[in-house]
Chains A and B, each alone.
Chain A
Amino acid sequence: MFSSRWCDHERKLMSTTPTLPVLDFTSIGPRVGARFPDVRLPDQTERIVDLHAERAGRRALVVVYRSARW
């Protein structure tokens, strides 16, 4: 145990260099606080789906992904 010494200090800054491009996803794509745009596309059954209409007033998760195939 030791008494606290508060009177001198030094701040250290650490930085890391990313190797992937660092992307700011707050400004990429639809923004938090904005209405998700209207989307009308066919689904796997060939039915044309209007996203907001299909949601029918429910909360929703929209998962955007690279591919189902690879």
Chain B
Amino acid sequence: MELQQAWPELQSAGVAVFGLSYDSVDVLAGFAEKRDITFPLLSDEGSRTIRELGLLNQHVVEQHTHYGVQVRDEHYGVPYPGTFVLDENGIVVAKHFEQSYRVRPTAALFREIALGSPGEHPSPVASTDAKLNILAWTDSSRYRPYQQLRLHVQVEIAPGTHIFATPPPADYTPLQVDVEPVDDLTVGALAAPPGQPIQVQCIDEEFMVYTGSVRATLPLLITKNLGPTSLRVRVTYQSCTETVCYPARTARLTVSVEGLDLIRD
């Protein structure tokens, strides 16, 4: 459904799309008709291709046990779910897999994987102080349970100023992003670029800092439709100029998202 939503844009960008699962042709025909799917859904009944590709899920028992789900016969033969991006020559240029089979990509993620840009997203909310401008937005203003929703935080740093990346020097605070806890919200690890090294006086060591503009992404997983939801985002940072460092600050921003029900048969 998410893929079908992203499909027209992918198609006009000249990207071919294929689905692959162990479902029979009949099951796929019914599914394609019901969901109006127009790209090929390949039927690998018996999971032979899945096995040959090395994608047969060998961890069915552990993964389902983790979620307290009873393992059923139909769980065997499933692949690890994920997406491959192929270039014009059929070479794999990227692959995208999650550690949890429950986390599903959104249309925005498919667009980004395939096209390198996420397309339109909701307008950011902003927080500004003397040295920094912070913008925050999610891929989409709406989510369905178990979809991977990503929070993007962009920090724009005034010239002549830097903020610390990880790992910071002792007693200094690196860039951190978190979201105030909400029931049924799981926050993943922050993905941020490594920063640039700066040479430090007194010791022969470099520390990593950000200058200019830096964007970090925080994966969010909401496992229930919570309706209109306010995500209270905290962005903590510590800024320094050449000569002086300021105390660590936490900027607070509220990003609003809206839950939708899972599509179920």
| A interface residues with partner B (beta carbon < 8 Å) | 1-12, 18-23, 25, 28-37, 39, 41-47, 49, 51-52, 54-70
Q: Are A62 and B31 in contact (CB under 8 A)?
A: no
Option from A10, A52, A64 in Cβ contact (under 8 Å) with B83: A64
Q: Are B82 and A64 in contact (CB under 8 A)?
A: yes
Instruction: Tell me the smallest distance from the CB of B190 to a CB of chain A, in Å.
Output: 12
Contacts of B19 in A (CB 8 A): 63-65, 68
Contacts of A65 in B (CB 8 A): 19-21, 79, 81
Option from A8, A45, A60 in Cβ contact (under 8 Å) with B18: A60
Q: Which of B75-120 contact A (CB under 8 A)?
A: 78-95, 97, 99-101, 110, 113-114
Contacts of B53 in A (CB 8 A): 29-30, 37, 39, 64
Instruction: Tell me the smallest distance from the CB of B193 to a CB of chain A, in Å.
Output: 19
Contacts of A56 in B (CB 8 A): 16
Q: Which of B134-142, B198-206, B228-236, B252-260 contacts A (4 or more CB under 8 A)?
A: B198-206
Option from A10, A18, A41, A58 in Cβ contact (under 8 Å) with B88: A58
A21-B53 Cα distance, complex, nearest whole Å: 20
B262 interface contact, C-beta 8 A? no
B55 interface contact, C-beta 8 A? yes
Q: Are A55 and B16 in contact (CB under 8 A)?
A: yes
Contacts A36-B86, A44-B40 given; indicate if A66 touches B16 (C-beta within 8 A): no
Q: Are B62 and A9 in contact (CB under 8 A)?
A: no
A62-B42 Cα distance, complex, nearest whole Å: 10
Contacts of A32 in B (CB 8 A): 92-95
Contacts of A49 in B (CB 8 A): 18, 40, 42
